[in-house]
Chain A
């Protein structure tokens, strides 16, 4: 049986749709209840619904064999897992944004508010820029408005939240999308189950591209 960790929420719903289109359907998933472990009747797959940022942790420790998670979470967590596929959805960008008209004071450390301290540190270390990281858990856009930080590092999908808060992108760090990840040991012992999943997902994605 393949254990699949899915992020709870919108991304997870999308992923489940793709998986069920590939033949990995699970009637228990379609009933909207509050269970977190959902098993297919014939015992072929088991879906685990977890907080998005926990998906790589479940996979790294082998509680799930494979999982789907945004590249942003992978980059931030640095978990030791295989990253097998780009599923091509949940597309957005990791960006640096600042109040419209922002001018950087190069004489002082840059104050960066973010949910992604590791990504922010790595990005600015690459430019030898000293920063002060302010770790927030949500409503990042508020930080520069209130003067809590100079800039923010966050994922940007359409940019409308930024515009509404008078912020603009000043730098794009890298593109983000949903990735299929796998536990290293599961890849050895369950390749007979994981490889067909990859083939099926590739097939589905190609058909979608054609359509």
Chain B
């Protein structure tokens, strides 16, 4: 049966909540706003820099939250034992991806804080895959490891400004401009060639992993690849590796992220719909013990995927007469609805409603036909 995107989004959120809760993640809810300073200090962590602000009565500049992870980490206890697992379903406020105006966006996500081990990384990545799968249709999870990229930059001895310039070109997969930039900065070989390779080091997991192994020049890079290989093995053993792709051109901000990072795509949505990764550096910035990993699902990006424009407003237009016994009509309407049909009961045909078929009340039940005929 066809449904509108809103109903399907609710359904998706319900299903995800069950998945997250069944693995011991508890709901984390929070205020709608934070002090603006939080976002000002962590601008580069945000998906977009535009924040909706207002002044509260004592003159403090506040912001409607554009992001949830910062709030969760900020308000988390400083000390913890083991791993704290939370999920959230919150509204966030940011510029629409089509630009122009601020919009309220439903966002769901998962965060694990504390002693993150390989099991926990695998669990969170699997939850990300399950979240994409729940949307329905084909999906891809792009994976990378920040240690691989930062290891290469360190080995090449690059300054932070140069790194940022190169990162920008790598993210755009602009190998031609990267080659020119690397040459202009006199980066020594073989690092120059390796940096240019990052832009195109993407595709099927095992093949790209093998190509990456050939350019691992330091322990940091080798450890990153070991971790990626272990994650791949874990996910293949549970039959979930088909959707995985490696893409070293995906680079998150090194001030926050380290380790595994990932982005999800679903068929029919032109942009990233899920994004996450390991953010131990973010935990340090907020002076919290332990490490962190999590992801967010951008439900606004799924609107088009979830909208399969129904051809009909209702499956059945159920027509009764005002003279019919309301109790009998009531029983017959609810009996039809119990069969899983969308019923619109009316005493007169509404002007702007398209129903797949029309049924008429015959005194006991509804029968197919039209009253006017």
Instruction: Write the residues of chain A forming the contact surface with B, with a CB cutoff of 8 angstroms.
Output: 60-62, 80-86, 182-189, 191
Contacts and interface: CB of A to CB of B under 8 A. Distances in A.
B174 interface: yes
B176 A86 contact: yes
B266 to A, nearest CB: 8
Interface string B136-152: 00101010000000000
Query: Top 8 closest A-B pairs, CB basis?
Result: A62-B270, A86-B176, A188-B140, A82-B173, A83-B174, A185-B265, A83-B172, A188-B265
A27 B28 CA distance: 58
Contact of A85 (B142, B176, B270): B176
B203 interface: yes
Contacts of A82: 172-174
A191 B269 CA distance: 16
Interface in B262-286: 265, 267, 269-272
Interface residues of B, number: 18
Give the secondary structure class of B's interface.
Answer: loop
7 contacts: A60-B270, A61-B98, A84-B173, A84-B175, A184-B271, A184-B272, A191-B203
Q: Chain A at the B interface: mostly helix, strand, loop or mixed?
A: mixed
Contact of B270 (A84, A86, A183): A183
A185 B172 contact: no
Contacts of B173: 82-84, 182, 187
Contacts, number: 46
A85 B172 CA distance: 11
A184 B250 CA distance: 11
A60 to B, nearest CB: 7
B203 A80 contact: no
B245 interface: yes
B271 A83 contact: no
Given A83-B172, A189-B265, A184 B177 contact: no
A185 B138 contact: no
Given A83-B172, A83-B173, A86-B177, A188 B142 contact: yes
Most buried by A among B138, B245, B271: B271
Given A82-B172, A83-B172, A189 B140 contact: yes
Given A86-B177, A184-B265, A189-B140, A61 B172 contact: no
B133 to A, nearest CB: 15
Contacts of A189: 138, 140, 265, 267
Contacts of B271: 60, 62, 80, 184-185
Contacts of A187: 173
Contacts of A188: 140, 142, 245, 265
